[in-house]
């Protein structure tokens, strides 16, 4: 079974803007199924597309299965089957031997910046980068699936 152990944090926009960072990857994603116990997501970038199934979050952990699909299929599935589309640019930053994925949202979620770190175990220790602020792990309003239905601009 695929497992994801993830923690989420807000990012200070001013410190983020001042940070030297790599080129980001633009994402478009939407949800076919979006409820409290499961989601089915379609994600498309310039390089790949994937279909992802996620289970209910318990603590920092949930089941996750991700499958690469042809980009053309992903675009068509987004158009035909997904609800509102989330747009964001993801930056992958290595800090203290850990990979941080930082999502800078655009569109209806413009102004929101969220950093995620995937862990091997829930009690794994790690250091926070200086640009990370408040932890939002487990706060459902920050789940991408919820941001599609209740975007940041409406808060």
The candidate with the shortest Cα–Cα distance to 54, out of 1, 9, 7, 13, is 1
What is the C-alpha separation between 54 and 40, in angstroms, rounded? 6
**Is 31 among the catalytic positions?**
yes
The candidate with the shortest Cα–Cα distance to 41, out of 152, 146, 150, is 146
Q: Which of 31, 67, 91, 143 is catalytic?
A: 31
What is the C-alpha separation between 19 and 123, in angstroms, rounded? 28
The two most distant CA atoms of the chain are separated, in Å, by 42
Q: How many CB atoms lie within 10 A of CB 49?
A: 22
Q: Which two tokens stand for residue 91?
A: 């930056």
Alpha helices of 3-152 — where are they, by DSSP H? Answer: 13-18, 71-81, 144-149
Residues catalogued as catalytic: 31
């Amino acid at each position: 079974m695929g497992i994801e152990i993830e923690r989420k944090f807000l990012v200070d926009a001013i410190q983020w803007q001042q940070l030297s960072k790599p080129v980001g990857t633009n994402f478009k994603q939407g949800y076919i199924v979006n409820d409290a116990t499961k989601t089915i997501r379609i994600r498309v970038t310039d390089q790949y597309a994937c279909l992802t199934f996620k289970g209910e979050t318990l603590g920092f952990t949930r089941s996750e299965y991700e499958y690469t699909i042809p980009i053309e299929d992903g675009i068509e599935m987004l158009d035909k089957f997904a609800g509102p589309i989330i747009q964001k640019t993801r930056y992958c930053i290595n800090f203290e031997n850990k990979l941080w994925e930082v999502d800078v949202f655009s569109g209806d979620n413009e102004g929101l910046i969220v950093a995620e770190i995937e862990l091997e175990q829930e009690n794994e220790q790690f250091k926070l980068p200086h640009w990370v602020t408040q932890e939002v792990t487990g706060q459902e309003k920050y789940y991408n699936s919820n941001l599609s239905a209740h975007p940041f601009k409406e808060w």
